[in-house]
Structure 1
Amino acid sequence: MLKLTFCLRRLPSLSLEEFQDYWLNKHGPLVRTLQPALGMTRYVQLHRLSGDLADGMRRVRGAPEPYDGVAELWWQSEETWRAASRNPEAREANRLLMEDEAKFIDLKNSPLWLNREEMIYGEQRRRAP
């Protein structure tokens, strides 16, 4: 499996609640409709929690301000990802997604990278060759 991790920071003009609402209720459905062109097998949004529990844990550890959310996107393999990137429909889907992301994500301050999970503990998945 090939995975893309995208650490999101919201636009300064949005509250955390506005950011998360748009991401879940507008952007999420857009990703779902574009999934066939993109060839993704999974898309997950991790929404940051706020409040005493989360803030207290961060203070105790001396941790910096967290991201507003993390998106995880999976493809069956690197070959599947490369094949989708050559597809004109996928290029158009990516253009539409980036256009929408600019409405709620501070793209210049939101890192992303491709990766492969290495399971240390938990349910084991069979690694693709």
Structure 2
Amino acid sequence: MSFPTEKKYLKVTLCLKKRDDLTNEQFSEYWRTTHADLALSNKTFMDKVRRYNQHHATPEMKEVARSWGNPTLDFDGIAEVWVDDLEAWQEISADQDFLDKILPDEKQFLKHPITIMLGYDNTVIGDRAPR
């Protein structure tokens, strides 16, 4: 069986830890609303990003994962940002509005440093990325 060529987007995976003084609910609410709204108001982000997913990990789900006996990631959330290529991500990261508004806002709910991974998806089951 032959599949059509799939567009290979660069996936920027950002592994996040909440500030110690915030509850999981406060962290998730702020990230889901205020911080996401800032990202959506940034022209470069909106022009360059093809997909933006937020993975919110609850303490209960982390405990279930730990109970299986495997090592687990110690993060409270993971942001996935899909862009066309590394240059697009670099443009977002260098955007002055991004630097002035979005990065400083991270201090409202995140601990630094943020762990990052760059890579590509290989879809095995599910819809492939549009070309």
Q: What is the TM-score with the length of structure 1 in the denominator?
A: 0.77
* Greater share of helix: 1
Q: Distance in 2 between matches of 1:95 and 1:75?
A: 21
Amino acid of the residue matched to residue 122 of structure 2?
A: E
Moved over 6 A (4+): none
**The structure with more strand, counted as a fraction of residues:** 2
What is the distance in 2 between the residues matched to 1:85 and 1:19?
Answer: 24
TM-score computed with the length of structure 2 as normaliser: 0.76
Paired with 1:15 and 1:43, the residues of 2 have a C-alpha distance of 23
Three-state SS of the structure 1 residue aligned to 2:128 is: coil
Structure 1: gaps of 5 or more residues:
none
Q: CA deviation at 1:60?
A: 1.8
- 1:1-129 alignment to 2 at 5 Å? 1-34=9-42, 36-38=43-45, 39-51=48-60, 54-64=62-72, 66-82=74-90, 84-85=91-92, 90-108=95-113, 110-125=114-129
List per-residue Cα deviations over 1:38-69 (Å, max 9, x = no partner). Answer: 32122111111332x65233212243463100
Give the total of aligned pairs: 121
* Shift in Å, 1:119: 2.2
Query: Among the aligned pairs, what percent are the same residue?
Result: 24
Structure 2: unaligned runs, 5 residues or longer: 1-8
SS for the counterpart of 1:21 is helix
- Give the Cα–Cα distance (whole angstroms) in 1 for the partners of residues 124 and 97 of structure 2: 37
Letter in 1 for 2:107: A
- The structure-2 alpha-carbon separation of the partners of 1:86 and 1:57, relative to structure 1 and needing over 3 Å to count, comes to closer
State the distance in 1 between where 2:11 and 2:87 align. 12
